[in-house]
Amino acid sequence: MNVQNRTVFSNDNLPVLRGIDTASVDLIYLDPPFNSNRNYAAPIGSEAAGTAFKDTWTLSDVDNAWHGEIADREPALYQAIHTAELTHSKGMKSYLIMMAVRLLEMKRVLKKTGSIYLHCDPTASHYLKMLMDSVFGKSNFKNEVVWNSATGVKNNVKSRFGRGHDIILFYGMPKSKFNIQYDPLSEEYLKSHYTYTDEDGRRFRADNLNAPGTGGHRYEFLGVTKNWRMTEEQARQWLTEGRIVHQSITPDSRVRIPSYKRYADESMGRPALDNWTDIGALNSQSKESTGYPTQKPVALLERIIKASSNEGDIVLDPFCGCATTCVAAERLQRHWIGIDISPRAVNLVRVRLEYEVGLLGDVIHRTDIPKRSEKLPNYRTHKHTLYGEQEGLCKGCRTQFPFRNMTVDHIVPTSQGGTDHEDNLQLLCGACNSTKGQGTQAELIARLKAQGVLR
Ligand SMILES: C[S@@+](CC[C@H](N)C(=O)[O-])C[C@H]1O[C@@H](n2cnc3c(N)ncnc32)[C@H](O)[C@@H]1O
């Protein structure tokens, strides 16, 4: 890995991501702007005062070359974005193009054992899922986590239900690690499942000891002969240890077949599901609130980091805001890298890490672009830029074509003194290019009209 642990970059994350070595990161969490059509600013007087970011997108925010890069590297991804433009808007297209070029880089930097969590909301989550399926592979989709982030939110809209959740799209590469997380047993669950109480007040449930199918060990135990899942020796040991419950031992017991006493206080809890209701969103009164707009709770990041990484692993947050991911990763003994375009964010990162985890001098602040150990591909050719400028449409027949079917044409042919300057270049589909031949653009249009291709 060519970037040191505990580095925060103040920069646009695209060039920084492009500078990070391939297959070097274990876990990525990203909480990008959601295309929520809002501009966020931290309140005056808060730790984060002065921090702001824009969350509205137009085509002018998008570099033309990115269209071509996506269409070149991932034609299916480009089509998904095009569909979003048709069904939603050009604004959505611009947002998704901004996201897609970055997701392609995240895929590249992720290890074969890595995982990625994309935090979003229903404004764009359905389009982002198509992007994630294209980039990371639909078979690597793990969960759509619904995080109940509604604390304190009032529903002022009379025409629909209030919106109370964010969505976190979780993808893991085929060999990704996963550590099961457990939810504590709720009172309701304890009441319905742990229905017995011991003499010393400990709650337990009576676990069935039947052997599965026709297997197991057949013998008589406490007057019952059947196929048990444990050996007779094990059964006798549990009996001496007081782990067996049966009416022959406690006459008033309702348990008619000897069963195993599973105590509630020994349970790790229930394996967590994909709807997270136990982690509250922050408000201005929360102890950990810095005032940074859209700050997420550390507990949320801790769950993600614990589930999908181990100590010493590298966690990357390319939209790190006020460093929630970095704080959580530091607490859990993971290595981390944060990137945020806002120069204010890094100061907040420093303050917070010093305050919350006692880290001061150890944070490395960089404003440059890291240098990748391997050779960088050619991300930006005239063809990429032209594809974006023309939004994938041929300059002759005006039909949309995949990147690979486009050819670069000299508007004024070189035989007539035309130069290689970008202003003299355009993209034509193969058919229009051969129709134009050494002719001029006006001649091409006239021919297409004569052929009935254009009106
Ligand atoms: C939703 S906030 C992230 C909040 C963060 N999860 C936290 O808990 O503080 C999105 C962040 O993305 C940053 N951002 C937006 N565009 C960016 C870009 N191109 N490169 C890096 N950071 C960017 C913004 O400055 C903002 O801090």
Query: How confident is the model at residue 59, as a pLDDT?
Result: 60
Nearest in space to 99 (alpha carbons), one of 196, 33, 51: 33
End-to-end CA distance of the chain: 56
Which residues of the chain fall short of a pLDDT of 50? 40, 42
Cα-trace Rg, the chain: 30
- Whole-number Å distance, alpha carbon 30 to ligand 1 midpoint, is 8
Q: Whose CA is nearest to atom 3 of ligand 1?
A: 321
Integer CA distances (angstroms), 87 to 82, 92, 136, 170, 394, in order: 9, 9, 23, 25, 22
Ligand 1 pocket by Cβ (under 6 Å): 12-13, 31-33, 53, 292, 294-296, 319, 321-322, 324, 339-342, 345
Tell me the pLDDT tens digit for each residue of 366-399.
Answer: 999 999 988 887 777 889 999 989 989 999 999 9
Give the residue whose CA is nearest to atom 4 of ligand 1.
321
Q: For ligand 1, pick from 34, 62, 317, 319 the residue to mutate: most ligand atoms within 8 Å of CB.
A: 319
State the helix-helix crossing angle for 75-87 and 90-109, rounded to 10 degrees. 150
pLDDT at 445: 95
Please enumerate in sequence order all residues whose Cβ is within 8 A of that of 92, keeping only pairs 6 or more positions apart, or say none. Answer: 35, 57, 84, 85, 124, 127
Cα-to-centroid distance, 38 and ligand 1 (Å): 14
Tokens of 200: 């010393």
Instruction: Supply the pLDDT for residue 172.
Output: 98
At 39, phi and psi to the nearest 5? -110, 125
**Helix (DSSP H) and strand (DSSP E) numbers for the chain:** 13, 21
Q: How far is the CA of 139 from the centre of ligand 1 (A)?
A: 28
Q: Which helix (H) or strand (E) holds 449?
A: helix 441-450
Residue 217: helix, strand or coil by DSSP?
Answer: strand
The residue whose CA is least distant from atom 12 of ligand 1 is: 319
Cα separation values, 155 from 112, 118, 162, 167, 341, Å: 43, 26, 5, 19, 33
- Residue (of 348, 296, 366, 356) closest to 332 by Cα position: 356
Q: Could you give phi then psi for residue 304, rounded to 5 degrees?
A: -65, -45
Helix (H) or strand (E) holding 126: helix 125-136
What pLDDT is attached to residue 61?
Answer: 65
Q: What is the pLDDT of residue 56?
A: 59
Query: Three-state SS for 230?
Result: coil
For 7-30, give one letter per residue: b (16+ CB within 10 A) or e: bbbbbebbebbbbbbeebbbbbbb
What tokens were used for 43? 């309140």
Look-up: residue for tokens 């305050």? 355
Q: Residue 102 CA: which ligand 1 atom is closest?
A: 19
In angstroms, the CA 329 to CA 33 distance is 22
Residue 330 has what DSSP assignment? H
C-alpha to C-alpha distance for 341 and 393, rounded to whole angstroms:
32
Closest listed residue to residue 296, CA positions, set 151, 161, 163, 162: 151
Output the pLDDT for position 379.
Answer: 77
- Domains, the chain, ordered by start: 7-178+272-366 (3.40.50.150), 183-266 (no CATH), 393-450 (1.10.30.50)
Is-contact 13 341, C-beta < 8 A? yes
Sign of CA dihedral 250, 255, 257, 258: negative
Q: Ligand 1 centroid vs 344 CA: distance in angstroms?
A: 11
Contact 317, 288 (CB under 8 A): no
The confidence score (pLDDT) of residue 157 equals: 73
Q: Which of 305, 309, 300 has its CA nearest to residue 282?
A: 300
Q: How many CB atoms lie within 10 A of CB 93?
A: 23
User: Which residue's CA is the nearest one to ligand 1's atom 13?
Assistant: 319
Three-state SS string across 70-118, please? HHHHCHHHHHHHHHHHHHCCHHHHHHHHHHHHHHHHHHHHEEEEEEEEE
Q: Which atom of ligand 1 is nearest to the CA of 296?
A: 8
Beta bridge partners of 54: 39
* Cα atoms found within 13 Å of the Cα of residue 346, Cβ hemisphere only: 19
Question: What is the structure's pLDDT at 343?
Answer: 80
pLDDT reported for residue 6: 93
